[in-house]
Structure 1
């Protein structure tokens, strides 16, 4: 698209640098600002008030990717009444458990939606996905129940990680937790595999050279991970 990408890194505590984001958004050449909230892989969140601040200064569009919204409950959707340059995107792939559908949706000001419709491919969603999506959204009570369970387990796992020497977990608003280790990420990753536990090595991401990410599962899965991690940090130098 002949555009230049400008990255705004998170602050030291892995929170959004709203000052820098607003500054970059205000530049005449900035056409699109993309914010992921909750963010992957850190799990950090940007508030609607902070998004509003960025949208106010922005010379272009501001897209808020809310793929993990159900595990957070905080949305910038209310800004759509006041900002014609804000777009909210969501997906069926996370809390709704339908990644195979490859289905998502966006919400924006009606005038902006009309413009997007002009460039949307015809028949961009197949009939089977549409039928499945219609059925899924009728199970709102089940979706909320499962999301609440994951949020509860997320806090429990966070507390357990805090109690392990050499482990520093970061608060998360998604269905995973990012944590830093005070020894070799690669060694811990490999030892966990030996224990039958596979999590995500995110040490190649900017600012995350000591970090790993674990997705919240069933209580039994979470316990297996915690037990394996306690054993691994004991034997890895």
Structure 2
């Protein structure tokens, strides 16, 4: 299995738990987007049976360039899984690409839209691959109540679309605001979170924020490219204000 890194930690974890060799390929250290040359070189060297690509990516929030995605898909000798868990916040999906690439599977989920407890997701791909996945699917299907809840949610797409639009506006406001903070770096995000690099130790700031009752994700130790980084989920204006206040207090406390 091969995937760019840093990305969703479960790719590596699941490979290791199932006894599969895993190859991680670093993203571009400046933009945190795909390093296509490195990805294609690693694919040529390791000949992976499975390639995972998360776009938008977690925890960087970056949306990978379509041309670069196609280059990686076309270079891969085996199955490519495009994980689009955060696609709703990017306003773009590539599920139609399965008609161009028979080895491509595209995954999406409702978990990032406020329905994590339903455990509802789906895969789009060639019928032949879906038939193979059906052979190894766990015997317990999606429950009746989650199915009903999902149907009701999909019947009110206008409300859901409005919530997503509001969140994206708030995301851009927070990005612009944080970029005015001295020493703070924020990457462009196509998700419902922001990756923020602090001018001080992120682990210490994370602990300070936790003590203040504000929980964010510290990814500083996940990968060298994430040094001094926190992942901040975008929420309501009131909750975002509380998060920023705790973040500012944490930076101040660690700096002093």
Place the TM-score, normalised by the shorter chain, in its bin.
over 0.9
- Is the 8 Å Cα contact of residues 66 and 75 (structure 1) preserved in structure 2? yes
- Is the 8 Å Cα contact of residues 31 and 59 (structure 1) preserved in structure 2? yes
**C-alpha displacement of 1:208:** 1.1
In structure 1, C-alpha distance between the alignment counterparts of 2:104 and 2:26, rounded to whole Å: 21
In structure 1, C-alpha distance between the alignment counterparts of 2:208 and 2:134, rounded to whole Å: 50
Length, aligned pairs only: 236
**Over aligned residues, Cα RMSD in angstroms?**
1.7
TM-score by length of 2: 0.86
Aligned pair partner of 2:170 in 153, 161, 165: 153
In structure 1, C-alpha distance between the alignment counterparts of 2:140 and 2:203, rounded to whole Å: 44
Q: Which moved more, 1:58-67 or 1:113-122?
A: 113-122
**C-alpha displacement of 1:27:** 4.8
- Is the 8 Å Cα contact of residues 160 and 226 (structure 1) preserved in structure 2? no
In structure 1, C-alpha distance between the alignment counterparts of 2:23 and 2:46, rounded to whole Å: 13
- Is the 8 Å Cα contact of residues 38 and 44 (structure 1) preserved in structure 2? yes
**C-alpha displacement of 1:183:** 1.1
Q: Would you say 1:69 and 2:87 are equivalent positions? A: yes
Q: Would you say 1:102 and 2:119 are equivalent positions? A: yes
Q: Which residue of 2 aligns with 1:183?
A: 200
- Is the 8 Å Cα contact of residues 195 and 229 (structure 2) preserved in structure 1? yes
- Is the 8 Å Cα contact of residues 179 and 213 (structure 1) preserved in structure 2? yes
In structure 2, C-alpha distance between the alignment counterparts of 1:234 and 1:166, rounded to whole Å: 12
Distance change (3 Å), C-alpha of 1:185 and 1:138: same
Aligned pair partner of 2:237 in 205, 216, 219: 219
Q: Would you say 1:41 and 2:65 are equivalent positions? A: no
Measured against aligned partners, the alpha-carbon deviations of 1:22-55 in whole angstroms (never above 9, x if no partner) come to 3333457310000111111110111332222112
In structure 1, C-alpha distance between the alignment counterparts of 2:56 and 2:46, rounded to whole Å: 27
Q: Which residue of 1 aligns with 2:24?
A: 7
Secondary structure in 2 matching 1:106: strand
Q: Would you say 1:173 and 2:194 are equivalent positions? A: no
Measured against aligned partners, the alpha-carbon deviations of 1:86-124 in whole angstroms (never above 9, x if no partner) come to 1100111112x1111112100012222222223223342
Alignment of 1:125-144 (within 5 A): 125-144=142-161
In structure 2, C-alpha distance between the alignment counterparts of 1:234 and 1:67, rounded to whole Å: 35
Q: Would you say 1:60 and 2:78 are equivalent positions? A: yes
Distance change (3 Å), C-alpha of 1:28 and 1:196: closer
Q: Which residue of 2 aligns with 1:162?
A: 179
Where is the helix percentage greater, Structure 1 or Structure 2? 2
Q: Which residue of 1 aligns with 2:141?
A: 124
- Is the 8 Å Cα contact of residues 34 and 68 (structure 2) preserved in structure 1? no
Q: Which runs of 5+ in 2 are unaligned?
A: 1-17
In structure 2, C-alpha distance between the alignment counterparts of 1:154 and 1:33, rounded to whole Å: 30
**C-alpha displacement of 1:3:** 2.3
In structure 2, C-alpha distance between the alignment counterparts of 1:142 and 1:225, rounded to whole Å: 26
In structure 1, C-alpha distance between the alignment counterparts of 2:44 and 2:131, rounded to whole Å: 25
In structure 2, C-alpha distance between the alignment counterparts of 1:47 and 1:104, rounded to whole Å: 24
Q: Would you say 1:204 and 2:221 are equivalent positions? A: yes
